[in-house]
Amino acid sequence: MSKTKIISAVSIICMLFIIMVIYTYRNTQNKIKRIAVHTEKIYGDIEFSGKIDSIIKIRRGGRTYGLMCIELDYSNVESFYRFDKYTTLKIKNNKAVLPIGFIGEHSTIRSEFLFKSIYVTVNKKQNKKYIFYSSNDSLVENWDFGNNNLKEEDLLRCGN
């Protein structure tokens, strides 16, 4: 094979790789945007806060996720239920079931803080944030309500 054929083949492979990376990036960005629009449309007006009763660990797909059980002291909706491929939330009988995402098998700063948390506010004054409070500190996270491999029956684990 001549040098020019090798250079041409390598150039074509590199160009295809670059095109594939750009395509993947654009698809990922479009999916993130769709989920953000979906979340805003469905959850944008919901606010609640309350005492954290427990965090249930759910192991699925080789990863551990958390489901927070909350005894509400404030909610601007009496009841709400949503479970779809992107997001989930359940509010019923003054209790909320909130997915808190990946918490891992080993302690991290985030997971340790979540397990020490005693109170949470969600979307207070439409701020699109979760604020978790421990006895002397707080952790602010962007909201997402991501269902993270949950199954619909997992929402029953908080007892409401």
- Whole-number pLDDT of residue 160: 64
- Whole-number pLDDT of residue 125: 86
Higher pLDDT, 66 or 149: 66
- Whole-number pLDDT of residue 1: 63
Is the sign of the CA dihedral 63, 150, 142, 92 positive or negative?
A: negative
**Residue range 90-96: mean pLDDT, rounded:** 93
Indicate the helix (H) or strand (E) that contains 8: helix 3-43
Q: Are 53 and 71 in contact (CB under 8 A)?
A: yes
Q: How far is CA 55 from CA 22, 47, 63, in A?
A: 39, 20, 16
Rounded to the nearest angstrom, the gap between the alpha carbon of residue 87 and the centroid of all alpha carbons in its chain is 8
Burial zone of 102 (CB within 10 Å; 0-12 exposed, 13-18 middle, 19+ buried)? middle
Helix (H) and strand (E) counts for the chain? 2, 8
- Whole-number pLDDT of residue 73: 95
Beta bridge partners of 146: 87
* Span 20-54, pLDDT tens digits: 999 898 988 888 788 777 777 888 889 999 999 99
**pLDDT range class, residue 92, cuts 50, 70, 90:** very high
**pLDDT range class, residue 94, cuts 50, 70, 90:** very high
DSSP code string of 52-81:
EEEEEEEEETTEEEEEEEEEEEEESSS-EE
Does residue 85 carry a pLDDT above 80? yes
Nearest to 144 by CA among 60, 58, 66: 66
Distance CA 137, CA 135 (A): 6
